[in-house]
Structure 1
Amino acid sequence: MKKILIALSSALLLTGTLAFAESVHNPQAVEHTKQAIIHGEAGHAALLVEHAKAGLTHAQASQQAEPSVHTEQAISHLNAAIEAGEKGHADTGTTHAKEALKHLEAAGKPPSHVAQAEEHAKAAITQGEAGNASALLEHAQVALTHAQAAEKESPSVHVQEAINHLNAAIESGKNNNAKDGTIHAKKALEHLEMTANSKQ
């Protein structure tokens, strides 16, 4: 039991450290990218490059801490902004910096309740497939909390169905029935994914 608690504590500490690194670097990347845009719009290619490089450094650190498709795209556009700026093309560099900024801002947004419910539903499935009904129960309860919050923000048939299946998964977990709990968690995940897809 002690080993499990130590492993869990270490995992939480590492996750917290990575999240902190992401939360520190993303805003810095955003700020430097904004400065690159300001200087690029003023025709100052050299200053655009300076700020784009600083933004790139922070974006790369953010990507290392918490990989994101948006941060990856921002890195690509910052590299293009630097390349254009080094050739004296402030206008093209500014265009790429603006694209990078869009992606950095999207990457900096906290995950939606639907996304968090999905993650916990997946964890519930993993635990249920391992026969661990109590861990399935815990993750299903957290997923339910996020699904209910998502339902309050934007009512949806799929979120309501996910809530119904999460409640069933919780009941199965309380009855030490990992098999049925897993089935309901999978159904909940299907509905959560349909909700996420419909919002894209």
Structure 2
Amino acid sequence: MSLSSDALYRLQRARSSWASAAAGWAEQRAVGSSAVSRVCSTRGAALERAERPWETEGAPDDDGYPTSLAEPCRRLAAAADSLHEQLERLQAATDTLTALGRLEEARAGRGDSAAGAAPAVTTWDASRCAAAASRLLPLYTKETEVKRTVASWLAHADSAAALTALRAAWMHDAYLTEETLALQQCLGGEVALDAGGGGTPQRASPAATASPALRQRRP
């Protein structure tokens, strides 16, 4: 790994940022899941009575939500917005990793010596990290688009089948497979920065750095 001490530190910071954003994304997905369940329960009960919520509760509010669905729908919309914010953090971390990967390749191409560089504490060089992040980012982008669509449509579902389909689209991450989540764990979990504020790279245990989504899928 032909990176200077400063560049190596930036690499570890970018990997830590990626892991933090991915964990934040999973947490907001979980927040949205509880709201989805409540909306589906309330909306499903109304459909069983062959009612539209606003037929018995008056006109929709300013956001277009029936009274009985307003609170969980707003929580769901906020969770979807937060997913997008975490996606922006993933994009920023990917941009940093890509820049470091190019720097590493340029130094290697010039035959620059790594003398004076900090000892490598990771088996993943910057180029490999950049490739992994670039592979994962489009998957998170697609999954975030799905969640935001669900948040927009769920309150207006007019059949039990539509509710079931939208609920499944939020609860199950079609694009984030076991393989891609394992790749994510390797990207963000091989090393972590110490908690003392010094930024010293420390090897982290897989259990401590696995994303919530991956932990939930383990038996």
Same-fold call, TM cutoff 0.5: no
Higher helix residue share: 1
Q: TM-score, normalised by structure 1?
A: 0.43
Normalization by structure 2: what TM-score? Answer: 0.40
**Which has the bigger relative contact order, CA under 8 A and spacing at least 6?**
2
